[in-house]
Amino acid sequence: MKPEDLLNNEALLEGQTMYTVLAKAYTLLLDEARWARHAFARDVEGRIVKPGDPSARCWDIQGAIAVSSNKWGILHPCFMQLLDRLAKDYDFDNYNEMNDGVEHVDALRILVEALRRTA
């Protein structure tokens, strides 16, 4: 894929459905050690890295979705819209506040609700 192909939003899903991407993100975050707060992704030392960075070892919800979407770890706009709606539905001002303001079990519940909405 060429860099200009990244401007094509469909390329960011690599032929996957939203549901498939969300299911992969859910599976990735099942282990609490793979969940992050206050960053899209962190390495084994806890340093902030990009979701698609090979050294990434834990992700927030958005980062897990991004890395499950494509090899670059770039989030498709449809997921941004879904996360914004979920944040409002859970009485948070924005997505980052939602991810950073919940416990791991709640992050998994949020992903289950995202799966339900895209089924």
The total domain count for the chain is 1
CB 24 within 8 A of CB 66: no
What is the band of 1 on the pLDDT scale with cuts at 50, 70, 90?
very low
Residue whose C-alpha is closest to residue 51's, from 65, 32, 31: 65
Range of the domain at 70: 3-118
**Which percentage of the chain shows pLDDT scores above 90?**
77
Cα of 116 vs its chain's centroid, Å: 16
Closest CA to 1 of 92, 82, 97, 70: 70
Side chain identity at residue 103, one-letter code: E
pTM above 0.85, yes or no: yes
> Within 10 Å of residue 92's Cβ, how many Cβ atoms?
17
What is residue 116's predicted lDDT score, i.e. its pLDDT? 97
Going from the C-alpha of 11 to that of each of 6, 15, 20, 79, 102, the distances in angstroms are 6, 7, 15, 14, 31
Higher pLDDT, 99 or 7: 99
Beta bridge partners of 56: 43
SS (H, E, C) 52-71: CCCCEEEECHHHHHHHHHCC
